[in-house]
Amino acid sequence: MTDNEHEIEQPDERKPKRVIGTPAPGTSMLGAAEPEAADQDVPGVTLQDEAKARKAEKIVALCFAITFLAGIAFIISYVYFQVGSPDATGTSNLALGSSLTVAILALAIGIVVWTRQIMPKYALVQERHTMTSDEEDREVVADTFLRGANESGFVKRKLLRRTLLLAAAPLGLIPVVLLRDLDNNKMPGADFHKELRHTVWGQKNKEGKPLRLVVEGTGQPIRAADFNSPGGILSVVPEGYEHDLTALAKATLILIKFRPEEIKDGTNRNWTHDGIVAYSKICTHVGCPAALYEQNTHHILCPCHQSTFDAADGAKVIFGPAARPLPQLPITVDAEGYLVAQGDFKVPVGPSYWERGDAEAEAGMKGGQA
Amino acid sequence: MSDLKAVPKAIAGPSNFLDERLGGANALKRNLRKIFPDHWSFLLGEIALYSFVILLLTGTFLTLWFKPSMMEIAYDGSYAPLKGVMMSEAYASSLEISFDVRGGLLIRQMHHWAALLFVAGMMVHMLRVFFTGAYRKPREINWIIGILLLTLALAEGLTGYSLPDDLLSGAGLRITEGVAISLPIVGTYITFFLFGGEYPGEDVISRFYSLHILLIPGILLALVTAHMVLMWVQKHTQMPGKGRTNKNVVGAPFYPAFMAKAGAYFLFTLAVVAGLATFAQINPIWLFGPYTPADISAGSQPDWYMGFLEGSLRLMPPWEINLFGTAQAGTLPLSVIIPALLPLGIIMTGLALYPFLERWVTGDNREHHVADRPRNNPHRTSIGMSAITFYGVLWLLGANDEIAANFHISLNWTTYAGRVLIFVAPALAYLITYRVCLGLQRSDQAIISHGVESGVIKRLPHGEFIEVHTPPSEDIEAHMRGKEAVPMLPVAEDPSGIPPKGMRGPVGKLRGRMSKAYGGEKIPLDDGHGHGHEEEHAAIGTGSGSGDDDRSITH
């Protein structure tokens, strides 16, 4: 028994008396004349007790009234509370948010009470039909398809069919081709990976001298003699590139000072100066800055995925998912005693990529980093 | 106030106007009183739907101020601690929304909370559909649409997370880049095309912006619409119960009851999101500072739905191989590729194929409109729990630094434990769930054949105490009797020991064996000695004899 199965009389001359889809007057449905008597005849529709419904109406009205008041409170709060400082913004957020929450919540509760205590309880039944179409309809569609296909000549005329397919092929490629210039460098795609091999440490400054190591944040160059707190760690960037994020994404260093006897063979001593070692700060796993340092153990830790490197021993991996050590930058001092790069890293920094190869082994064969 | 006797003019006029032009009465006749079945679990998907609506509304508000640009400017807004600091316009405009636009912080936080709720709603809804078998014929297409929606929602979350360009969002972007570049052969191409060159470049925010506010939401909207239309056309599944069959649907009509309920439920979702945005701070970007690839804050965590990927990255041992020797291309960073692609691949592919695999194993080609209770298909439920455990271990490991710090465990041991648990825990979950399902089926059997404990203790003339059992109420019994044996292929061998056709080759044999294990009735509801005897059972022994003796007296 479903309401939808009811035949609804459709008078021939429709007058704007009756809204579409609603029962014609006199049928036994909700909203029809004398609903109480009629509804009792509809199985699956249980009316609410009128006394209870009257009580519920008051609750609903209270809820809606709260929504009204809270809505006004929101508008007043918007005008009254200004933003700017964190405190003022916090107050404004609290006033706006709580009035909005109360308004919406009261409205929701009101509607729920309305549905549950005033509207009837329903257990109406509707028939289901299998999704599959009738066999006849399917046959008609199949016939129509065949007829249309034959009428169009698509099947019979080979030349037409093949040239159409031919025509479609380059059209499908156009959107892909159009995306080629997503890369701003306009270089051949096969050269992309060559960019990854180098950092700005290989370049010279304006006076043609090697780049100085400067402190990240302050931009101060570092005098080797001043950096003498054993166990200390410093985040270092190249001079002149302090705000070039793309350069920093590869060239940022950590600087650590060791006592000479602490340095193990993994570290290339020729690339250190007076116990000061510079490693790439960019983790070889997926490129987070390996920013944490534990003085006692000389462990460098990447906070993203906990790759751990032994700073005293060439930053080799001792734990975590990183597969390769943090590359060491060859450093020395210039005439004024400031730390400078001897040159670029001998191996690519940061995460691995397909074209990288085992650059460490290659560099080792050429007599670089062990 | 009395009831309406005729449709009021204000409604009748416009509807007549529309009907004369569109002819909607026929469709409305069939659909206004469309029946929607009731069950609490059917509301889970609605949370996702309403969160999506909230996301569209709050997101539009945010676009009015947000500037998707990576141009470096000196901050000149009203948040004093960052005054004069160099930052991208994207970050500066996010700060402006937070501190200089009234209601901006509220809407920004609502957007973020709604995003978390959106994915959460989708996932619990998906689990409900999975565990009740509601993905079965004819709903496989809608199931696939749902999986696409979930995948796109993850992409939508990822792109949105990166837009404010604060230090935390940049860390997420950096990891995304590290994963993209590690892909074999195409990795460098993908990253250079995505970032317009080397990471981070100056394009990615504006590119992510157009993906985040136009392309992905556009596809989401289209798929959500398709999801709704299919649900409407195929009608909702219903839980087994009194009068509910595969050929009907029992519940409340769309107009007025379901409409009002759905409206109220939208408002509840909105109220919860607004309440969270008011009282629970989320993503305080002003504390993180502008992004620079040189810095990171310890304890960086992604949004919850990315946690499983984070965990799988953390779990992986440091494997990397060079396919063609040391100097050539051919580097495979397995410690990135495997954790980034494998778990996601297993889960999404597994989900997409499950309806078809199940149909292949059970040979069940019928339409299903009555949902299964999870206990009644124990293998499916166990597979689902196993997958949840797999996901859960990864997710938990995504926060292993927090676990280590808060519970004072060695960080390294959380990783070692995770490497074992990722294999052991899903297997254990399978076994335990399977036993629990059978146990629950037995308890159903007990209720059907012995009745429910009434709480009334009766003393018999010979001194024995028994508890009176009463038959279960009609609707509960109907709910339980909705159980149906899991279908099985005709696997029985013929008298000469030859398996049936289609089950002879190695694949066929496997299929037959799987069908036998997966299908069939594990615990029949009527255990044979049930019906007809008095509804009284021994509650406690008489003191001397064993339980069995006592039962024999009462029978």
For residue A168, CA distances in Å to A153, A163, A165, A171, A199 come to: 18, 9, 5, 5, 44
Cβ atoms within 10 Å, residue B220:
20
- Res A42: pLDDT: 75
Average per-residue pLDDT for chain A: 87
- Res B325: pLDDT: 79
**Which residue among B29, B100, B187 sits closest to A8, beta carbon to beta carbon?**
B29
Q: Helix, strand, coil: what percent of chain A each, to 5?
A: 40, 15, 45
Candidates B177, B130, B176; CA nearest to B150 is: B130
Tens-place pLDDT, residues B443-479: 999 999 888 888 889 899 999 998 888 989 888 999 9
Task: Flag whether pLDDT at B548 surpasses 50.
Answer: no
Cβ-defined contact of B103 to A361 (cutoff 8 Å): no
- Cis omega before residue B256 (within 30°)? yes
Task: Flag whether pLDDT at A368 surpasses 70.
Answer: no
Stated as kind and residue range, the H or E segment containing B105 is helix B104-131
Question: Across the beta sheet with A253-257, what order do the strands follow?
Answer: A213-215, A233-238, A253-257, A276-280, A328-329
Interface of B with A in 498-527 (CB under 8 A): none
- Res A28: pLDDT: 40
Q: Mean per-residue pLDDT for B319-335?
A: 88
Q: Does B287 touch chain A (CB under 8 A)?
A: no
- Res A41: pLDDT: 61
Task: Flag whether pLDDT at A118 surpasses 80.
Answer: yes
Q: Does B329 touch chain A (CB under 8 A)?
A: yes
Confidence category of residue B553, pLDDT binned at 50, 70, 90: very low
- Res B525: pLDDT: 87
Task: Flag whether pLDDT at B536 surpasses 70.
Answer: no
Query: Helix (H, G, I), strand (E, B), or coil: what is residue B116?
Result: helix
- Alpha-carbon distance A263 to nearest alpha carbon in chain B (angstroms): 24
Interface of B with A in 352-381 (CB under 8 A): 367, 369
**A interface test, pick of B1, B22, B296 with most A CB neighbours within 10 Å:** B296
- Res A29: pLDDT: 40
Domain boundaries, chain B: 1-31, 32-239+254-372, 445-554
Task: Flag whether pLDDT at A19 surpasses 60.
Answer: no
Tens-place pLDDT, residues B99-125: 999 999 999 999 999 999 999 999 999
Confidence category of residue A49, pLDDT binned at 50, 70, 90: very high
Q: Could you write out the three-class secondary structure of B218-273?
A: HHHHHHHHHHHHHHHHHCCCECCCCCCCCCEEEEEEHHHHHHHHHHHHHHHHHHHH
Candidates A365, A359, A264; CA nearest to A309 is: A264
**B interface test, pick of A353, A366, A369 with most B CB neighbours within 10 Å:** A353
A363, A271 Cβ separation under 8 angstroms? no
Task: Flag whether pLDDT at A262 surpasses 70.
Answer: yes
Task: Flag whether pLDDT at A39 surpasses 90.
Answer: no
Confidence category of residue B528, pLDDT binned at 50, 70, 90: low
- Res B1: pLDDT: 57
- Res B495: pLDDT: 81
Task: Flag whether pLDDT at A230 surpasses 80.
Answer: no
Tens-place pLDDT, residues B201-216: 999 999 999 999 999 9
Rg of chain A in Å (alpha carbons) = 39
Confidence category of residue A36, pLDDT binned at 50, 70, 90: very low
Q: Mean per-residue pLDDT for A152-167?
A: 93
Task: Flag whether pLDDT at A229 surpasses 80.
Answer: no
**A interface test, pick of B100, B102, B282 with most A CB neighbours within 10 Å:** B102
Cβ-defined contact of B333 to A122 (cutoff 8 Å): no
B504 or B374, greater pLDDT: B374
Q: Mean per-residue pLDDT for B308-318?
A: 94
- Alpha-carbon distance A212 to nearest alpha carbon in chain B (angstroms): 17
Q: Helix, strand, coil: what percent of chain B each, to 5?
A: 60, 5, 30
Task: Flag whether pLDDT at A23 surpasses 70.
Answer: no
How far apart are alpha carbons B534 and B468 in whole angstroms? Answer: 9
Flag the least confident range among A12-26, A203-217, B74-88, B298-312. A12-26
Task: Flag whether pLDDT at B42 surpasses 90.
Answer: yes
Q: Which residue of B has its CA nearest to A109?
A: B264
Interface of B with A in 159-188 (CB under 8 A): 171, 174-175, 177-179, 181-188
Domain boundaries, chain A: 3-122, 199-365
**Which residue among B78, B177, B328 sits closest to A85, beta carbon to beta carbon?**
B78
Q: Mean per-residue pLDDT for B354-368?
A: 95
For A199-365, which CATH superfamily applies? Answer: Rieske [2Fe-2S] iron-sulphur domain (2.102.10.10)
**B363 is written with which tokens?**
């040979």
Confidence category of residue A214, pLDDT binned at 50, 70, 90: very high
Cβ-defined contact of B182 to A183 (cutoff 8 Å): no
- Res B533: pLDDT: 44
For residue B102, which residues of chain A lie inside 8 Å, CB to CB?
78, 81-83, 92, 96
**Which residue among A16, A83, A131 sits closest to B99, beta carbon to beta carbon?**
A83
Amino acid at A288: C
For residue B190, which residues of chain A lie inside 8 Å, CB to CB?
none
Give the DSSP letter of residue A117: I
How far apart are alpha carbons A65 and B31 in whole angstroms? Answer: 33
For residue B106, which residues of chain A lie inside 8 Å, CB to CB?
93, 96-97, 100
Q: Which residue of A has its CA nearest to B171?
A: A288
Cβ-defined contact of B256 to A123 (cutoff 8 Å): no
Q: Which residue of A has its CA nearest to B265?
A: A108
Q: Which residue of A has its CA nearest to B189?
A: A189
Tens-place pLDDT, residues B488-516: 988 777 788 788 887 888 898 899 999 99
Cβ-defined contact of A355 to B331 (cutoff 8 Å): yes
| CATH code reported for the domain at B32-239+254-372 | 1.20.810.10
Q: Which residue of B has its CA nearest to A321?
A: B318
Candidates B177, B208, B132, B203; CA nearest to B377 is: B132
- Percent of chain A exceeding pLDDT 70 equals 86
Tens-place pLDDT, residues B217-255: 999 999 999 999 999 999 999 999 988 999 999 999 999
Cβ-defined contact of B19 to A20 (cutoff 8 Å): yes
Cβ-defined contact of A127 to B296 (cutoff 8 Å): no
Cβ-defined contact of A362 to B326 (cutoff 8 Å): yes
Flag the least confident range among A138-147, B1-10, B197-206. B1-10
- Res A93: pLDDT: 96
B332, B482 Cβ separation under 8 angstroms? no
Task: Flag whether pLDDT at B67 surpasses 90.
Answer: yes
Average per-residue pLDDT for chain B: 91
Cβ-defined contact of A287 to B174 (cutoff 8 Å): yes
Cβ-defined contact of B275 to A105 (cutoff 8 Å): yes
- Res A37: pLDDT: 44
Cβ atoms within 10 Å, residue B186:
13
Confidence category of residue A7, pLDDT binned at 50, 70, 90: very low
- Alpha-carbon distance A327 to nearest alpha carbon in chain B (angstroms): 15
Cβ-defined contact of B300 to A352 (cutoff 8 Å): no
- Res A201: pLDDT: 95
How many Cα atoms within 13 Å fall on the side-chain side of residue B206? 11
Task: Flag whether pLDDT at B301 surpasses 90.
Answer: no
Q: Which residue of A has its CA nearest to B106?
A: A93
Amino acid at B493: E
- Res B416: pLDDT: 95
Q: How large is the ipTM?
A: 0.89
Amino acid at A273: H
How far apart are alpha carbons B394 and B392 in whole angstroms? Answer: 5
